[in-house]
Amino acid sequence: MPSPLGHALGAAAAGWALAPPLPSATRQVVAATLRRGLWFAALGMLPDVDLLVAGLHRGPTHSLSAALIAGLAAAALTRSARLGAAAGGAYATHTVLDWLGADSSPPVGIMALWPLTSDYYQVSKPVFESLWRHNLTPDAWFHNIKAVARELMILVPLAWVGALRHSRSAKNAKNAKNAKNARNAKIAKPKG
């Protein structure tokens, strides 16, 4: 299963890709983009709150149904369907990344389709290595460092592209508004 950092990067990338552009009046586009990214990252790590309850890890909070609930709640709170979709997508990346991750502790996999079924699912050829949480020998440290490095090689470029796309969408919206205002000013200008 991916690390919390991997989950944060994947969620930020998905959230930025799905989120509506920032308002054109936003002056600090980079800061606003990063703030949104932090919220998406938090949503991507939220399913692991079930670690606090013994025996529930990789259960219902790791399902696509939980992602749907998170997206609907965000849409209701923000009154924006597109921001709700971005929040739901950010949350759902946890399910996808865990499904793509190696898991060696029973029950193997995640309850991705809960409440429809209580079956656990895992991809047959994992993309991400599991993190060794209970064995802190030098071998475990080396394994975990390699696993996180692989996550970073895959997810940092995706997050970077998502952040650039999102920050540029605000700049493009602002430029389009300025161009429209300039055209309107030319049309309204009396000839004489």
Q: Which residues constitute the domain of residue 32?
A: 4-188
Per-residue pLDDT tens over the stretch 107-139: 899 999 999 999 999 999 999 999 887 777 889
As a whole number of angstroms, the distance between CA 49 and CA 175 comes to: 42
- The pLDDT, as a whole number, for residue 68 is 98
As a whole number of angstroms, the distance between CA 93 and CA 44 comes to: 6
Q: Considering its fold, how many domains does the chain have in total? A: 1
Torsion angle defined by CA atoms of residues 80, 85, 91 and 96, in that order, rounded to the nearest 10 degrees: -170
Who contacts 5 (Cβ-Cβ below 8 Å, separation ≥6)? 148, 151, 152
Provide DSSP, 132-145.
Answer: --S--SHHHHHHHH
Who contacts 12 (Cβ-Cβ below 8 Å, separation ≥6)? 37, 38, 40, 41, 44, 90, 159, 162, 163
Per-residue pLDDT tens over the stretch 159-182: 999 988 887 776 665 555 555 555
- The pLDDT, as a whole number, for residue 164 is 87
Say if CB 62 and CB 112 are below 8 A apart: yes
- State yes or no: pLDDT of 183 exceeds 70: no
